[in-house]
Structures are given as C-alpha cells and as structure tokens.
Amino acid sequence: MKYSHKLSDAVHIMAYIEICRGQTLSSGEIAKSINSNPSLVRRLMMYLTRSGLLITQKGIAQPTLAKDSAKISLFDIYSAIIDEHNLLHVDDKTNPNCIVGGNIQRVLEVEYAKVQIAAETEMKKISLKKIIDGILVERTN
C-alpha cells in the first residue's frame, strides 16, 4: 500500500512558517526541516497559496500565513493539497460473478462515505494553532 505524506508535509510547512517567522524561510530551509527536497516544498506552497492559506512573493523568502493559525483547520490544508479527497478506496476490479465480488463495491462505498464525513468533521475541529501549540509544548519537554 502506498502512503502519501503530502498532508503531513503541508502542515509541517505551515507550522514552520509560523514558528520560524522572521527567519530565512526559503524552500531549501523548510525542506531541511521536512528532510525532503525544495521542489516538493515549493509545489506544496503553491497549492497552499492558491487556496488562500499562504501569502508568498516571488524572489522573497518570507512566506506568511494568510490568516491567523487559529482560523486555519487541518481540513483547510487537506483540501488545498490533496487531489483525491477520499481517504478510503474501493477495489473496482473484483469478480462480478462472485456474490462478494459482485456486490461489495456498493456496500463499501456507503460505509466509506460515512468514514469520510466523520474524518472531515474531525479535521475541521483541529486548528493549525493547536498543532503549533503542541509542537511548542513538545519542544519544552
């Protein structure tokens, strides 16, 4: 199974920008924190900027949050960077002649939709500020 780290990396970028405000915030510096490459950082920042979550200026390594971190939810960031918004996916290549293979897709789609709604509802309750505060508390422990 392939896992995507895009959401984690995007939240990391947003938290880094807020916590390290006033420092050099180049994609290279942020990439060092993520342990990734600057092109990934630039691509995610582009999505975050297009979605109105970040403010960037070409040639200036000082991105800022577009609004207070308390007003940015995990769902906002998720919506900005995830192309396929379904957390769970049904295998559509099952055997239609089998009682399970021929009927499981419709049943799972209904149940997965419930999970999706619940996850999105919870993500809307988690602010970037809460994540930043957690990072800062961990740092002191």
Q: What 3 state SS string does 82-120 have?
A: CCCCCCCCCCCCCCCCCCCCCCHHHHHHHHHHHHHHHHH
The domain spanning residue 80 has which CATH number? Answer: 1.10.10.10
Question: Is residue 120 in some structural domain?
Answer: no
- The domain of 71 spans 6-84+127-140
pTM of the entire structure? 0.88
Residue 62, SS3 per DSSP: strand
38 and 46 Cβ atoms separated by less than 8 Å: no
Question: Is residue 105 in some structural domain?
Answer: no
How many domains, in total, are found in the chain? Answer: 1
pLDDT tens-digit profile of 26-68? 999 999 999 999 999 999 999 999 999 999 988 888 999 999 9
Question: Is residue 109 in some structural domain?
Answer: no
Question: Is residue 44 in some structural domain?
Answer: yes
pLDDT tens-digit profile of 93-141? 999 999 999 999 999 999 999 999 999 999 999 999 999 999 999 877 6
